[in-house]
Structure formats: C-alpha cells, structure tokens
Amino acid sequence: MSTTEQRVAIVTGAARGIGAATAVRLAAEGRAVAVIDLDEAACKDTVEKITAAGGKAVAIGCDVSDSEQVEAAVTRVASELGAPTILVNNAGVLRDNLLFKMSDTDWDTVMNVHLRGAFLMSRACQKHMVDAKFGRIVNLSSSSALGNRGQVNYSAAKAGLQGFTKTLAIELGKFGVTANAVAPGFIVTDMTAATAERVGMGFEDFQAAAATQIPVQRVGRPDDIANAIAFFTGEAAGFVSGQVLYVAGGPLN
Ligand SMILES: NC(=O)c1ccc[n+]([C@@H]2O[C@H](COP(=O)([O-])OP(=O)(O)OC[C@H]3O[C@@H](n4cnc5c(N)ncnc54)[C@H](O)[C@@H]3O)[C@@H](O)[C@H]2O)c1
C-alpha cells in the first residue's frame, strides 16, 4: 500500500451501538468503512454520519452467520472500497435465559452470530490481509466471558471468541496480521436497554445500579469501546496481538 492509499475497514453490527461508534471513529482515523448490519437500510444513519464528516463509507446488508452472504459482502467491499484489511467482528445478539429454560434455538442463535459470524468474516477477509501483508482483526468479547447468570450461551460464545482471537494471532502473525479482543463491561446501548427490560427495571435505574459496582462509578459509552478498538486497529499496534482487553471501568480477569 502506498502512503496515500486509504485502508479499508469492515465493522459488523454497525447500524447502532458500539459498532456504529466504532465505524464513525475508524472513519475519523482516515479509514474507508464498510458498515455492515442485517438490514442495509438500517446502516444509513451511520453512513450519513461518516460522509457528513467528510469520510467514506458504504452500507451493506449481511447476516454474518450466513456463509454466502458473508462472501458476497466481502467481495462487494473489495470492489467498492478496496481490499478490507481491518475487520471488527462486533455483530451480536442476546438470548438470555437460565439453563433449564434455554431453548436449542437460544443456544444456536448466539453461537451462530458471535462465533460462526466471526469465523466466516475472518476467513473471508484474511486473504485480503495476507495479500496486503497487513491486517487488524478485533473481536468483541465481553465481561460475561467470565460467567454471568442467565447467559450460558452468551458467556460461552464470548469466552470462545477469546480462544478464537489468540489462535488467529498465532496463525496470521507471520503475514503482518494482528488479532485482539476487546471485552466491554456495561455499555449503554439497545442491548443493555433490552436487558433492563428483561429484568423488569427502568433503564436509568439499571444504569445507576450498575455504576455503583464499577470502580470508576459510571457506566460505559460506545465511544469508550471505539477508542480501544481504534488503538488495536492502528498502524502503531503491530506488536500487540492475541490480547484480551477488558474495558469495564475497573479490573476484570
Ligand atoms: N452493550 C454492552 O454492554 C456490551 C458488553 C459486552 C459486549 N458487548 C458486545 O458488543 C457488541 C455490540 O453490542 P451493542 O451493545 O452495540 O449491541 P446492539 O444490540 O446495540 O447492536 C448489535 C448490532 O448487531 C447487529 N446484528 C445482530 N445480529 C447480526 C447478524 N447476524 N449479522 C449482522 N449484524 C447483526 C444488530 O442488528 C445490531 O445493529 C456485541 O458483540 C455485544 O455482544 C456489548
């Protein structure tokens, strides 16, 4: 890549929440960004935010758990923006329930979006990264990887993503590709709003209660996570690989 060429980033689940903040942040760092989510129309706001600030972005509808859709999306990114060499596997869903009430579908859906999705996207993008001898993969894990009541599916997927990340780092390091995981704590998004609803609490009260348990005494915002992802995807982070960074307002391990 010449110094004038723009690196191309893919952010999945970027229609809203952490993914949207990350797409906007990476565009502000000079990346051309593919904003991927289930529904192309839902990506419009994120794309408009980027282009209004003078950045470059395209909206692409894709279910990351579907192999054919992933291949088609990555091919489209390569032809419309250029070879994707930055990938943020952020798309996620919750299907919380206690083990004895959890359905097969609750289990499979969470595994498919988080684990299969990250696998399919990484496999589709790695050839572009290997050709470019440069790549940055960031996978969204979670503090729930350490265990969380009602989330046996989600915590297994988020812990799985940590092993996935470390193995990508080992396999792809010799091609100039790093892989790291960011594991957020409580971040204010539609996802945590849905959790508040499930446990029967108002979202404001839910946030206030969470903040009392967090050493910095506040809940996180999507930009808190976008900042960490921007570091891992940066040119300067080439010697940082296979790491899991908890971004949770306090220590977790
Ligand atoms: N919010 C938190 O507190 C928190 C904490 C830890 C980890 N995370 C993780 O961060 C990531 C983003 O979370 P968020 O809070 O912004 O969630 P969110 O629910 O606000 O956004 C998730 C996005 O992913 C998209 N998505 C879901 N399934 C998809 C699929 N199959 N293909 C493509 N897109 C799909 C959704 O449409 C949505 O736009 C997730 O992986 C989540 O598990 C969030």
* pLDDT digits 0-9 by tens, 27-53: 999 999 999 999 999 999 999 999 999
* pTM of the entire predicted model: 0.98
Asked if residue 19 belongs to a domain, the reply is yes
Tell me: pLDDT of 217 over 80: yes
Site to probe by mutation for ligand 1, drawn from 47, 191, 244 as the one with most ligand atoms within 8 Å of Cβ, is 191
pLDDT of residue 65: 99
Residues of the domain holding 36: 8-185+222-246
Tell me: pLDDT of 76 over 90: yes
Give the span between the Cα atoms of 196 and 209, in whole angstroms: 11
Asked if residue 194 belongs to a domain, the reply is yes
CA distances from 127 to 75, 78, 119, 135 (A): 11, 11, 13, 10
Considering the chain, what is the average pLDDT of its residues? 97
Tell me: pLDDT of 228 over 70: yes
Asked if residue 251 belongs to a domain, the reply is no
Give the span between the Cα atoms of 14 and 40, in whole angstroms: 10
Domain co-membership, 215 together with 233: no
pLDDT of residue 185: 98
Asked if residue 57 belongs to a domain, the reply is yes
Band (pLDDT 50/70/90 cuts) for residue 247 is: very high
Tell me: pLDDT of 2 over 80: no
Is 246 marked active-site?
no
Q: Which of 107, 119, 134, 154 is catalytic?
A: 154
Is the CB of 22 inside a 6 Å radius of any atom of ligand 1?
A: no
Domain co-membership, 105 together with 18: yes
CATH number of the domain within which 145 lies: 3.40.50.720
Domain co-membership, 63 together with 157: yes
- Of residues 106 and 4, more confidently modeled: 106
Asked if residue 49 belongs to a domain, the reply is yes
Tell me: pLDDT of 147 over 90: yes
pLDDT of residue 1: 56
Domain co-membership, 169 together with 111: yes
Asked if residue 2 belongs to a domain, the reply is no
Band (pLDDT 50/70/90 cuts) for residue 4 is: low
Domain co-membership, 43 together with 81: yes
Domain co-membership, 164 together with 215: no
Domain co-membership, 37 together with 146: yes
Band (pLDDT 50/70/90 cuts) for residue 149 is: very high
Distance 47 CA to ligand 1 centre (A): 17
Per-residue pLDDT, averaged over 218-243, amounts to 98
Q: For the purposes of burial, counting CB atoms within 10 Å of the CB of 231, is it exposed (0-12), middle (13-18) or buried (19 or more)?
A: middle
Domain co-membership, 193 together with 171: no
Distance 71 CA to ligand 1 centre (A): 21
pLDDT of residue 5: 85
Give the span between the Cα atoms of 179 and 172, in whole angstroms: 8
Asked if residue 253 belongs to a domain, the reply is no
Query: Which of ligand 1's atoms lies nearest the C-alpha of 158?
Result: 43
Per-residue pLDDT, averaged over 187-203, amounts to 96
In single-letter form, the type of residue at position 62 comes to C
Three-class secondary structure assignment of the chain = CCCCCCCEEEEECCCCHHHHHHHHHHHHCCCEEEEEECCHHHHHHHHHHHHHCCCCEEEEECCCCCHHHHHHHHHHHHHHCCCEEEEEECCCCCCCECHHHCCHHHHHHHHHHHHHHHHHHHHHHHHHHHHHCCEEEEEECCHHHHCCCCEHHHHHHHHHHHHHHHHHHHHHHHHCEEEEEEEECCECCHHHHHHHHHCCCCHHHHHHHHHHCCCCCCCECHHHHHHHHHHHHCHHHCCCCCCEEEECCCCCC
Distance 142 CA to ligand 1 centre (A): 11
Asked if residue 156 belongs to a domain, the reply is yes
Domain co-membership, 63 together with 137: yes
Domain co-membership, 104 together with 204: no
Query: Which of ligand 1's atoms lies nearest the C-alpha of 222?
Result: 16
pLDDT of residue 253: 72
Give the span between the Cα atoms of 110 and 167, in whole angstroms: 21
Q: Whose CA is closest to 89, among 175, 25, 181? A: 181
Domain co-membership, 195 together with 78: no
**Count of structural domains within the chain:** 2
